Amino acid sequence: MVRIQSILCPLDFSEFSLIAYDYAQSLARHYDAKLSVQHVVQPLTSSYPNYPVPDFYNNARHDLLGEAEQKLREFLKEHTHNGTQPESVVNEGEVMDSILALANQKNVDLIVMGTHGRSGLDRFLLGSTTEKILRKARCPVLVVRKPVNRFVKPEDRRDPVHPRKILSCTDFSKHSEMALKYALSLATEFSAELTLLHVLEDVPRSPEVQSVAAEVLRDLEALVPREAIDWCTIRPVIRIGKPYQEIIQLALEARSDLIVLGVRGRSALDLALFGSTTHRVIQLGTCPVLAVQI
């Protein structure tokens, strides 16, 4: 059983982190989870760590932290809905290190973060902070990018995010089994339709593929606990092709609101190959992606 009791949402006051904050609020409400928001101020002296620091730098640092705390308070006052009472934290340090340190300190169950648009170089690099968090976080990470999906409704102040169609992808490995648990939990919490996808790769399109697909379909159905059928609609689907391409295409066709993917462990080889499927779906897809690590 998936338990989400603590959620961390890093904020940089951009439109992307505002969208992520809407997701974090809705998830916190549905799971009755504690929500922490964090803003990180990078040190003024980080570019010249070996030089002496004059007094005016210390004064500027103090002012900068004070302004960040005030801005965070104003942000939360303006954008917090549905009675959520988040804990706010302002840190000074490198962004990635500060986020990971706070996530570990609070033993959070989920990180929700926005990442920038899909134009130019960013489309391929995701943004160094987001990519590093995905690689190193010890908990699942929900990455929210543009465009904003139709199910985000800022005018619904009580619940601005309510996914109705969730796509979960499995290759029958342990990490995808864990991802399915999260997908089932989310589908149950939001009364959403869940599509369970398996992609057959390097399989020739021939009469024999039908028997292979029928066997895989039975395996997909066996993954779903019987009790889950009472709480949400589950649809098994099989595709043939490159996994990331088929995942993105099906998400478009089904108008999925959220994709849930398992990420392999953090061995050197896994990190080197991180971008093969999960990374590309986050890069090129049009809806948020929950990356679940084990």
pLDDT of residue 145: 77
Q: Can you say whether the dihedral through the CA atoms of 266, 268, 269, 275 is positive or negative?
A: positive
- Place 123 in a pLDDT band, splitting at 50, 70 and 90: very low
Boundary of a domain, candidates 162, 184, 208: 162
Query: Same structural domain for residues 10 and 72?
Result: yes
Which residue's structure tokens are 């908990």? 139
pLDDT of residue 20: 92
Query: Same structural domain for residues 80 and 122?
Result: yes
Q: Which domain holds residue 270?
A: 163-294
Instruction: Give the C-alpha separation, 25 to 82, whole Å.
Output: 8
Instruction: Give the C-alpha separation, 273 to 270, whole Å.
Output: 5
Q: Contact, 186 vs 260, CB < 8 A? A: yes
pLDDT of residue 252: 93
Query: Same structural domain for residues 198 and 269?
Result: yes
pLDDT of residue 98: 94
Query: Same structural domain for residues 140 and 95?
Result: yes
Q: Which of 12-16, 108-112, 202-206 has the lowest mean pLDDT?
A: 202-206
Q: Which of 74-88, 212-226, 256-270 has the lowest mean pLDDT?
A: 256-270
pLDDT of residue 153: 55
* Res. 183: pLDDT tops 90: yes
Q: Residue 81: is it exposed, middle or buried by C-beta count within 10 angstroms (0-12/13-18/19+)? A: middle
- Place 152 in a pLDDT band, splitting at 50, 70 and 90: low
- Compute the average pLDDT of residues 144-149: 65
> In this structure, what CATH number is given to the domain that contains residue 114?
3.40.50.620
Q: Contact, 291 vs 263, CB < 8 A? A: yes
Query: Same structural domain for residues 102 and 196?
Result: no
- Place 44 in a pLDDT band, splitting at 50, 70 and 90: low
Query: Same structural domain for residues 148 and 206?
Result: no
- For the chain, state the CA radius of gyration: 20
- Give the β-pairing of 87-92 and 234-240: unpaired
Tokens of 76: 């939360």
Instruction: Give the C-alpha separation, 172 to 216, whole Å.
Output: 10
DSSP 59-106: HHHHHHHHHHHHHHHHHHHHH--TT---EEEEEES-HHHHHHHHHHHH
Query: Same structural domain for residues 112 and 46?
Result: yes
Domain count, the chain: 2
Boundary of a domain, candidates 96, 129, 162: 162
Q: Which of 29-38, 68-77, 167-176, 261-270 has the lowest mean pLDDT?
A: 261-270
Query: Same structural domain for residues 44 and 81?
Result: yes
* Better pLDDT: 188 or 202: 188
Residue count (the chain) = 294
Angstrom distances, CA of residue 28 to CA of 20, 65, 81, 100, 287: 12, 27, 11, 20, 20
pLDDT digits (tens, 9 = 90+) for 231-286: 888 999 999 999 999 999 999 999 999 999 998 655 444 444 444 788 888 888 88
Q: Which helix (H) or strand (E) holds 240?
A: strand 234-240
Q: Which helix (H) or strand (E) holds 258?
A: strand 258-263
Torsion of CA 245, 251, 252, 253, to 10 degrees: 100
* Res. 60: pLDDT tops 50: yes
Query: Same structural domain for residues 152 and 172?
Result: no
Boundary of a domain, candidates 111, 128, 162: 162
Query: Same structural domain for residues 218 and 116?
Result: no
Query: Same structural domain for residues 148 and 188?
Result: no
Query: Same structural domain for residues 1 and 138?
Result: yes
